[in-house]
Structure 1
């Protein structure tokens, strides 16, 4: 089989959505005639850990590990609670402290493109020998962190190989870049590195059509959209007895769905039966402003904050919930963001209530799949009307989801598209 070197930062036991994409690609690539060799850090600083994901690592896969210098280790000496927030590039509060502002300035201006930049040179040295020993002709880098693309860039300069740069998220247009307090020179350096990577790679992978369009304005390098997906098969599950509305993943200030909380608060006051069975389930990190919004509207008694759940528990929660909640920040920059959980929501076959920006790519996918309703952050009346309609169906056990044409998002089918893309690049 043709060997493919995959350079990744997020790998089990890392939790969260960033690890799933290449964990699943490497699972199915051998079926398509490719042997993945995975290169990951030996001592990473993961904001979320899910030990259960180690059980999903494909048996027999070759994994090479290299030590990495993690600046977030010393940042934790100052504020352990802030470290995870900074490492994900997001400010969770509207009024960040002086320390958080300082750490973000350091992150944005001294660590370009990100804090894993110190892994580039030692990785190039290690991988150069491996490329020769293993006779590797295909290298794939996946970011963020986008420092990993600089590894691919250097390897491309010194070896005869095909390099594919996979962007799970955009680079300079990602929303949190505006919060990193970047100087003008730092902004220019990010832009320069982004263009250099996009122009030097042989092929580019992206997860949304919006990102593809954005990159096409920067480079003529071929770009392929391969979304994230799901890898579990649907099975009949007993639904929650309560009217559960469940959100999976981080729910920080920017995604706070105030229109939804207001609609739920009004329904609780107006409908005694609704009040008795409502349950709001939030799995993952929840921002203080979100909790304050719920408290201010009298919804705290209906909240069940589950914290971080293992991936297996998440799948079970999705299948049992009456309604699944998908949220995105209401900005132009987020129109192309397609949360990885969307595809597992599809496979759970429960109605999706999505609230996000106008012309949201994920929202359009939900409409196409007939998998739910898409609303805006300001439209309380529409959200309330939808909830009331779904509640009436829930009461007579007829709240169902008739999603269609989602098989194309199965990880095996997505890997088949990846294999075709790699093969086309070799021809």
Structure 2
């Protein structure tokens, strides 16, 4: 008989964006490893991005249970739809450019909704799931965050029932970059830290997505901490692909204000000024949510006629843009707090077999994966000469139709292989 596992999550189709992909794929492959996943999700969530095409990826054999959730963001839309959607999607503008309303909403979000705005789902879920777990004879419970309030569901169910509980952290909790933007009081900072420690210490197993987060959490708890990265699904590009005629540099996903690579825009601007051939051939392609500040900077640097902003595109179509791009752009915030962030798009980029222009903080975990897959190392945000040299190198290879990467084995990052790792954790007594 398959082993039943209850998975408590917030992001589930029709949610779009990166948050849904990890567990959508785990659920897809777990039955192949003798595990029956049962999904518990909100009935009426407030998703900042919706992608109904992802509903087609859910097998009809998967049991999905949904219960109502009270969403403060939905109520706050009465006052300002644009601002609440921006904050809920993680696009927080620099402090100097925030309006009084934005600052007020951030203060309320940080100090009145601890650990986050989905806290109101905790008690109703615990009440419902106590009976469900006992009725279904479920021995293993998994919670995944953010939102980290879902880990409090796992905490209370373990305390009440003694169920085995695996806490999966797709991002850190108190050390994630945006946590500093929430204008927390000292008292509420301490509350976050205390909740995080309690979850880490009482979870049977903690799973994280990066090496530095594993180190961080290992120092905070005596429980096992295991790294299972994100990955890619489907087959790696093998056939000869028709590439864009333009020298296309494509960024897939949200490009937030804090992630804005201003030095890159300067380099591209200078190349356009100094090299007419480059200016004629170059196209920057932006797919996903982009902050106003990024778009303003592109205009400031004279790149407004060289970029194409496509907005959000459903996940099933993104791959075509990736594999036809000349270069794929990966950018992370330049901060010590983001060294342990490995964007999920990195693995999709690897699958596309295109050069990756990665820009991020010093000692970034991404470097380890780039080395293992024999790709170009990443560059620092302020490395003007390095960025210019790398882009010119790509451009010269593009001109001679030789812009490509050597094919290396990336099978370790396939979603099925990663699910195998998860299954080993679940089956372990």
| TM-score after normalising by structure 2 | 0.97
How far apart are the structure 1 equivalents of 2:217 and 2:334?
22
SS of equivalent to 1:301: coil
1:354/1:373 contact within 8 Å kept = yes
Q: For 2:106, which of 100, 104, 107 is the aligned residue?
A: 104
Q: Identify the residue that residue 247 of structure 1 maps to in structure 2.
A: 251
How far apart are the structure 2 equivalents of 1:29 and 1:132?
22
Aligned residues: 425
How far apart are the structure 2 equivalents of 1:36 and 1:155?
18
- Report the Cα offset of residue 403 of structure 1: 4.6
- Report the Cα offset of residue 259 of structure 1: 1.6
1:90/1:179 contact within 8 Å kept = no
1:90/1:176 contact within 8 Å kept = no
1:56-71 paired onto structure 2 within 5 Å? 56-71=57-72
Q: Identify the residue that residue 410 of structure 1 maps to in structure 2.
A: 414
Q: Identify the residue that residue 368 of structure 1 maps to in structure 2.
A: 372
1:205/1:225 contact within 8 Å kept = yes
How far apart are the structure 1 equivalents of 2:293 and 2:301?
12
- Work out whether 1:123 is the aligned partner of 2:125: yes
Encode CA deviations 1:355-414: one digit per residue, 9 max, x unaligned.
110111113322331223411111111111111111111111110012523110000000
Q: Identify the residue that residue 173 of structure 1 maps to in structure 2.
A: 175
Q: Identify the residue that residue 42 of structure 2 maps to in structure 1.
A: 41
1:165-244 paired onto structure 2 within 5 Å? 165-235=167-237, 236=239, 237-244=241-248
How far apart are the structure 2 equivalents of 1:189 and 1:31?
41
2:210/2:342 contact within 8 Å kept = yes
2:354/2:405 contact within 8 Å kept = yes
Encode CA deviations 1:170-198: one digit per residue, 9 max, x unaligned.
00001111110000110010001000100
- Report the Cα offset of residue 353 of structure 1: 0.2
How far apart are the structure 2 equivalents of 1:122 and 1:181?
28
Q: Identify the residue that residue 295 of structure 2 maps to in structure 1.
A: 291
How far apart are the structure 2 equivalents of 1:354 and 1:190?
32
- Work out whether 1:264 is the aligned partner of 2:268: yes
- Report the Cα offset of residue 263 of structure 1: 1.2
Q: Identify the residue that residue 151 of structure 1 maps to in structure 2.
A: 153
SS of equivalent to 1:295: helix
Identify if the C-alpha distance between structure 1 residues 90 and 183 changes in structure 2 by more than 3 Å, giving closer, same or farther.
farther
How far apart are the structure 2 equivalents of 1:403 and 1:294?
33
Encode CA deviations 1:83-121: one digit per residue, 9 max, x unaligned.
122224441244211111111111101100001010011
2:91/2:257 contact within 8 Å kept = no
1:392-411 paired onto structure 2 within 5 Å? 392-411=396-415
1:367/1:374 contact within 8 Å kept = no
How far apart are the structure 2 equivalents of 1:138 and 1:171?
23
How far apart are the structure 2 equivalents of 1:89 and 1:233?
31
Q: RMSD between aligned alpha carbons?
A: 1.1
How far apart are the structure 2 equivalents of 1:323 and 1:224?
32
SS of equivalent to 2:65: strand
- Report the Cα offset of residue 201 of structure 1: 0.6
Q: Identify the residue that residue 303 of structure 1 maps to in structure 2.
A: 307
Q: Identify the residue that residue 11 of structure 2 maps to in structure 1.
A: 10
How far apart are the structure 2 equivalents of 1:360 and 1:98?
34
Encode CA deviations 1:15-45: one digit per residue, 9 max, x unaligned.
0000000000000000000000000000000
Q: Stretches of 4+ moved more than 2 A in 1?
A: 234-237
- Report the Cα offset of residue 285 of structure 1: 1.3
Q: For 2:319, which of 309, 315, 322 is the aligned residue?
A: 315
Q: Identify the residue that residue 280 of structure 2 maps to in structure 1.
A: 276
Q: Identify the residue that residue 160 of structure 1 maps to in structure 2.
A: 162
Q: For 2:362, which of 358, 362, 370 is the aligned residue?
A: 358
- Work out whether 1:76 is the aligned partner of 2:73: no
Unaligned 5+ segments in structure 2 are: none
Encode CA deviations 1:327-356: one digit per residue, 9 max, x unaligned.
011110000000000000000010000011
SS of equivalent to 2:166: strand
- Report the Cα offset of residue 139 of structure 1: 0.2
Q: Identify the residue that residue 332 of structure 1 maps to in structure 2.
A: 336
1:349/1:371 contact within 8 Å kept = no
2:328/2:357 contact within 8 Å kept = yes
